[in-house]
């Protein structure tokens, strides 16, 4: 993981696919008490409440990086 800033001072964090996957998994476990893979299965099966801000956060995070193709499935 690398940290930098834009010329305007906006923080930029770059992660490898593995780092991103671990990051998303940690958030899913902390906020929804499930793994990122379990989140994806439940989200695709429409078993989660889309009005829950944590579900929205995880949906956004899994729409990028390693999870991109799966999130759209």
pLDDT in tens, the chain (73 residues): 899 999 999 999 888 888 888 999 999 999 999 999 999 999 999 999 999 999 999 999 888 655 544 444 4
Q: For the beta carbon of residue 37, count every other beta carbon within 10 angstroms.
A: 15
Predicted pLDDT at 64: 63
What are the Cα distances from residue 48, in Å, to 7, 24, 68? 39, 17, 19
What are the Cα distances from residue 58, in Å, to 9, 10, 18, 48? 26, 22, 16, 11
Helix or strand (DSSP H, E) at 42: helix 36-44
């Amino acid at each position: 993981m690398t940290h930098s800033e834009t010329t305007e001072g906006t923080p930029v964090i770059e992660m490898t696919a593995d780092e991103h996957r671990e990051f998303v998994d940690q958030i899913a476990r902390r906020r929804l008490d499930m793994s990122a893979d379990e989140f994806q299965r439940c989200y695709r099966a429409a078993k989660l409440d889309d009005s829950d801000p944590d579900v929205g956060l995880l949906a956004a995070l899994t729409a990028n990086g390693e999870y991109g193709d799966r999130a759209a499935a």
